[in-house]
Each structure stands twice: as structure tokens, then as C-alpha cells.
């Protein structure tokens, strides 16, 4: 290809640009915000929230940016392994999962490193501008119009490939509908989640702990709820990043004292940080109303040479930490598609089928868990009650048994699809564990 244009230069756009750089002479990343070194664009307010990277997301990061973990750690990020990574369910420490590993870094820190790597690619350039429309010619996306931003003037770019990485509120659908195309069907689930993140000065109060993550039990028939859900991660700059989350009326607010009170009702590690460490700056909140995904493969027609990645494609409940990993996996699907040397005049159905299979796994996992919330009203998939009954037992068994938890975490980390939890050997092991044999 002569040119690929990536609209949006945040996490999804950076991965797409890296992949496209293997196939296009010139890759242009257009973004009004995510170009500067600080990476704290107005349009990505969730950047201030704690971001955890699933192991699959980490693997993809290394795949496309070899050596970046080492670089991140050299610059101050932490890499937690084994006992440094602790998961709790209703206050009970879960059995160790083999291969547990997690990076401790803030999102801006991670993204700035990524951006530096992408900017160093010879055939990639960043343009500080806002994409304002799609040029569609002969049924294919032939370019992008942009508006001036800062000192740079707006212009129109011709392209062989256009990537929408403009996030959850991408205007692409409106542009397409305005030009006589159909909007992609949407799946959505209202979850009404509230998030709050605060930073604390980190000393030696928790030894080598890098991650402590506590989630509520699926049902309280095993043990009453004793702790609040929450997570802390050791990040660069000698800080802890602590996140609390709650649904509907129980969303955490920005009040510092209230945040500390809630932290003191969490597992020991989080309580210790509340008691011994100084909070730095303010509590930042974020409200996430619904999970949403677009299903382009169900359309009958779509412009050729146009693909959608990241949150513009699917944006799911952040509690499960899937977003960054999904953005990286979309780039993988894009790479697989581009390696087939596709005709830009034809819609990228092959890409959409590949990426939707990946999104499907993440969607199944997150929405199944969300449906257990009393205020979430559906839609319920067929067989939901039976699936939930089995999932609840598996979750309980994962607290008590390493082998069950290892498989469970492989699915949570998107290394295996959700159907891996239906393996009869795993289920029979879970039954034996629950019966105490
Ligand atoms: C509260 C919260 C917590 C989260 N925690 C996690 C987590 O722990 N782990 C995880 O993996 N994921 C997490 N996520 C999800 C993660 O933030 C997203 O999946 C991720 O940001 C998606 O990246 P993206 O590049 O697709 O979109 P975004 O990051 O939203 O970026 C979109 C980009 O498009 C640009 N843009 C917008 N309009 C235009 C335009 N007209 N022209 C050009 N550019 C434009 C914006 O400036 C921005 O840079 C969380 C999300 C939320 C809301």
C-alpha cells in the first residue's frame, strides 16, 4: 500500500499504526491530542484511571514492540510474578495460578513508551489534527479530511487503508450514515459502573507486592461478603495506584475521606496503604454507563479499505481489564488480514470476522459476569441460569485449588476462550475440590 491513515493515536491507534507500517509505505496517525509527550489527551479521560494489562495484552505488547517490558522496567515500571501478584475473592486469597505475571505501570507511562516506539518507525508520522470525515470514492474509503489543530493546517489525505481508532465515541458511524451507508448493528448492556482512582506514595509497607486485586464473590452462599472490591498496583515513580469501583447507587465519589474509608473496608494490602501512605493529588472518578460492541460482519455493504479497531469496535466493562488487550488483538487481526494482500476496493469482511471472534470471547466473559449484578437487566443469553450456576461453583473452586485457578486465570487473561471453562476434566476437578476430596 502507498498510504494507511489511522484516525486516533491512542492505544488502539498506536498498535494499528505499528501493524500497518509493515504493509504501507507511509502511515499517518491523525489525532488532535495524543501526540504530545505527556499523552494526557482530553479525549481519553479514562487515562487517569488504573489500567491493568492482562497477560495476553502483555504478550502482544512484546510481540509488536520487542524489548519494551525491559525498557518500561528500566524506567521505573514493576513486573510482578508469583507471590507479588495476589488475587482475592470476598477477602479470601485465591490459590496461586501458575505463570501469574503482571506489569505495574500507569496508562500514560505505558502509552508514552508505546508512542515513542511507533514514532521511531521510519514510515510513520503523527499529524496533530482532527479527522472530520471520510472520503468515499467508488464504494471504498479513499481518504480522510482533517481540520486544523494548533499550528498545523487541516488537509485531505488520500489512503489505501483507513483505520478508525477514535475510541468509544468515534464519529465514523455518523459519517457513514450521512453518506447513505448503514450503521453497524450494536450489542449493548447497561451496567452503570463508577470508578475512582487515587495515587499514594509507596514505601516498603507491602514488601514485593505489585498487585493486590479483590473482587466480590459470585454469590454469598459460601461466605458473607466481608470486604469491598478494589485493587492496588505498584507503579512507576514510587507510587501505589488504587482503584475502587461500584455499581449504580454504590459508585465511589471524589471525596478523599470517603475513598480512604472505603479502602479500609478492603483486603489487608489496600487497608495498609490507606493507613500508612500519603495520598498524592485528587481522587479521579469515571462513570461507565454501558458495554457496547459493533458487529460489522452482519452488514450487507460497507466501504472497502476501511477497518475499525479498539474501543470504536468494542468497549466493555473495564473491571475485567480487557480493553487494551482487545485493542492489541484487533491489530493482530489487522495484520493477519493485511498479510492476505487484500483488494482495497472490497470490504474487509475477513478482518471483521477475525476480530469479532476475539471480541466475542471477551464479550461473553464480561457480560456473563455483569448479569449477576442485581441492577443489570439483560439481555440474558439462552441457558444463562445453568451457566451461572456452573460458573459460580468454578469460581469458588478457583479460590481453593491451584489447577482450577490456573485455568480460570488463563480464561480471564484471554489466553484461552471462555469455552475452556466447560472442559469436563476441569469441571470434575472443581466438583472434587468443592466436595473436599
Ligand atoms: C474507567 C476505565 C478503566 C479502564 N481500565 C482498563 C484496564 O484496567 N485495562 C484495560 O485493558 N483496559 C481498561 N480500560 C479500557 C481502555 O481504556 C480502552 O479500551 C482503551 O483506551 C481503548 O483504546 P482506543 O485507542 O481504542 O481508544 P481511546 O483510548 O479512547 O482513544 C481514542 C483516540 O481517538 C482520538 N480521537 C477522537 N476523535 C478523533 C477525531 N475526530 N480525529 C482524530 N482522532 C480522534 C482521541 O484523541 C484518542 O486519542 C478502561 C476504561 C475505562 C473507561
Q: Whose CA is nearest to atom 16 of ligand 1?
A: 323
Q: Which atom of ligand 1 is nearest to the CA of 52?
A: 8
Domain 77-106+189-290, CATH class in plain words:
alpha beta
Q: Which of 6, 7, 8, 11 to mutate to test the pocket of ligand 1 (most atoms within 8 A of CB)?
A: 8
Q: Which atom of ligand 1 is nearest to the CA of 41?
A: 47
Planar angle of CA 248, 367, 227, nearest 5 degrees: 50
Q: Are 18 and 334 in contact (CB under 8 A)?
A: no
Nearest CA-CA partner of 102 in 69, 131, 80, 73: 80
Q: Whose CA is nearest to atom 50 of ligand 1?
A: 318
Measured CA to CA, the distance from residue 435 to residue 183 in angstroms comes to 51
Q: Which atom of ligand 1 is nearest to the CA of 51?
A: 8
- Give me the sign of the Cα torsion angle 38, 39, 43, 47: negative
Residues with CB under 6 A from ligand 1: 7-13, 30-34, 41, 43-44, 46, 49, 51-52, 130-131, 165-168, 171, 195, 286, 288, 310-312, 318, 321-325, 327
Nearest CA-CA partner of 200 in 228, 226, 231, 229: 231
Q: Which atom of ligand 1 is nearest to the CA of 288?
A: 53
In the chain, CATH 3.30.9 sits at 77-106+189-290
Q: Are 282 and 256 in contact (CB under 8 A)?
A: yes
For residue 275, the CA-to-ligand 1 centroid distance in Å is 33
Q: Residue 28 is inside which H or E element, if any?
A: strand 26-30
Q: Whose CA is nearest to atom 35 of ligand 1?
A: 8
Per-residue pLDDT of the chain (437 residues; tens, 9 = 90+): 999 999 999 999 999 999 999 999 999 999 988 555 555 566 788 888 999 999 999 999 999 999 999 999 999 999 999 999 999 988 899 999 998 889 999 999 999 999 999 999 999 999 989 999 999 999 999 999 999 876 666 899 999 999 999 999 999 999 999 999 999 999 999 989 999 999 999 999 999 999 999 988 765 443 446 688 899 999 999 999 999 998 888 889 999 999 999 999 999 999 999 999 999 999 999 999 999 999 999 999 999 999 999 999 999 999 999 999 999 999 999 999 999 999 989 999 999 999 999 999 999 988 888 887 777 877 888 888 888 888 889 999 999 999 999 999 999 999 999 999 999 999 999 999 999 86
Q: Whose CA is nearest to atom 25 of ligand 1?
A: 12
Paired with 213 in beta bridges are: 87, 231
For residue 339, the CA-to-ligand 1 centroid distance in Å is 26
Q: How far is CA 86 from CA 75, 100, 139, 150, 399, in A?
A: 24, 9, 52, 45, 12
For residue 414, the CA-to-ligand 1 centroid distance in Å is 19
The yes/no answer on whether domain 3-55+110-187+292-369 falls in CATH 3.50.50.60 is: yes
Q: In which residue are the cell numbers 480493553 written?
A: 323
Longest dimension (CA), the chain: 71
Question: Hey, how many other C-beta atoms are within 10 angstroms of the C-beta on 263?
Answer: 24
For residue 311, the CA-to-ligand 1 centroid distance in Å is 6
Measured CA to CA, the distance from residue 385 to residue 381 in angstroms comes to 9
Paired with 158 in beta bridges are: 143
In the chain, CATH 3.50.50.60 sits at 3-55+110-187+292-369
Q: Which atom of ligand 1 is nearest to the CA of 34?
A: 49
For residue 310, the CA-to-ligand 1 centroid distance in Å is 7
Amino acid at each position: 500500500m502507498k498510504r494507511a491513515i489511522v484516525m486516533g493515536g491512542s492505544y488502539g491507534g498506536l498498535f494499528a499504526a505499528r501493524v500497518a507500517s509493515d504493509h504501507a509505505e507511509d502511515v499517518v496517525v491523525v489525532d488532535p491530542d495524543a501526540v504530545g509527550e505527556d499523552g494526557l489527551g482530553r479525549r481519553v479521560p479514562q487515562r487517569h484511571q488504573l489500567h491493568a494489562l492482562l497477560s495476553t495484552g502483555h504478550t502482544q505488547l512484546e510481540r509488536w514492540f520487542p524489548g519494551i517490558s525491559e525498557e518500561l522496567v528500566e524506567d521505573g515500571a514493576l513486573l510482578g510474578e508469583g507471590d507479588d501478584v495476589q488475587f482475592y475473592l470476598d477477602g479470601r486469597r485465591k490459590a496461586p495460578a501458575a505463570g501469574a505475571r503482571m506489569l505495574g505501570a500507569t496508562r500514560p507511562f505505558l502509552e508514552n513508551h508505546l508512542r515513542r516506539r511507533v514514532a521511531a518507525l521510519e514510515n510513520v508520522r503523527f499529524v496533530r489534527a482532527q479527522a472530520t470525515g471520510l472520503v468515499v470514492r467508488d464504494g471504498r474509503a479513499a481518504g480522510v479530511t482533517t481540520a486544523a489543530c494548533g499550528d498545523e493546517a487541516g488537509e485531505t489525505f488520500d489512503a489505501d487503508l483507513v483505520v478508525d481508532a477514535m475510541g468509544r465515541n468515534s464519529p465514523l458511524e455518523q459519517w457513514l450514515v450521512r453518506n447513505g451507508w448503514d450503521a453497524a448493528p450494536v450489542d449493548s448492556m447497561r451496567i452503570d459502573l463508577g470508578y475512582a482512582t487515587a495515587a499514594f506514595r509507596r514505601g516498603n509497607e507491602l514488601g514485593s507486592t505489585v498487585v493486590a486485586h479483590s473482587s466480590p464473590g459470585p454469590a454469598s452462599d459460601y461466605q458473607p461478603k466481608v470486604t469491598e472490591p478494589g485493587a492496588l498496583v505498584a507503579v512507576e515513580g514510587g507510587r501505589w495506584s488504587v482503584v475502587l469501583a461500584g455499581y449504580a447507587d454504590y459508585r465511589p465519589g471524589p471525596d478523599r475521606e470517603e475513598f480512604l474509608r472505603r479502602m479500609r473496608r478492603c483486603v489487608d494490602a489496600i487497608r495498609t496503604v490507606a493507613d500508612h501512605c500519603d495520598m498524592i493529588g485528587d481522587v479521579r472518578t469515571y462513570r461507565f454507563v454501558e458495554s457496547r460492541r459493533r458487529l460489522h460482519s452482519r452488514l450487507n455493504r460497507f466501504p472497502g479499505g476501511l477497518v475499525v479497531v479498539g474501543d470504536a469496535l468494542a468497549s466493555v466493562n473495564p473491571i475485567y481489564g480487557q480493553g487494551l488487550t482487545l485493542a492489541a488483538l484487533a491489530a493482530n487481526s489487522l495484520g493477519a488480514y493485511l498479510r492476505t494482500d487484500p483488494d482495497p476496493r472490497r470490504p474487509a469482511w475477513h478482518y471483521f470476522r477475525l476480530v469479532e471472534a476475539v471480541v466475542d470471547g471477551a464479550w461473553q466473559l464480561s457480560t456473563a459476569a455483569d448479569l449477576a449484578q442485581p441492577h443489570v437487566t439483560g439481555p440474558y443469553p439462552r441457558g444463562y441460569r445453568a451457566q451461572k450456576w456452573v460458573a459460580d461453583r468454578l469460581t469458588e473452586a478457583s479460590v481453593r485449588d491451584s489447577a482450577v485457578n490456573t485455568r480460570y486465570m488463563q480464561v480471564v487473561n484471554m489466553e484461552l476462550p471462555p469455552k475452556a471453562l466447560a472442559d469436563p476434566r476441569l469441571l470434575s476437578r472443581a466438583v472434587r475440590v468443592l466436595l473436599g476430596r
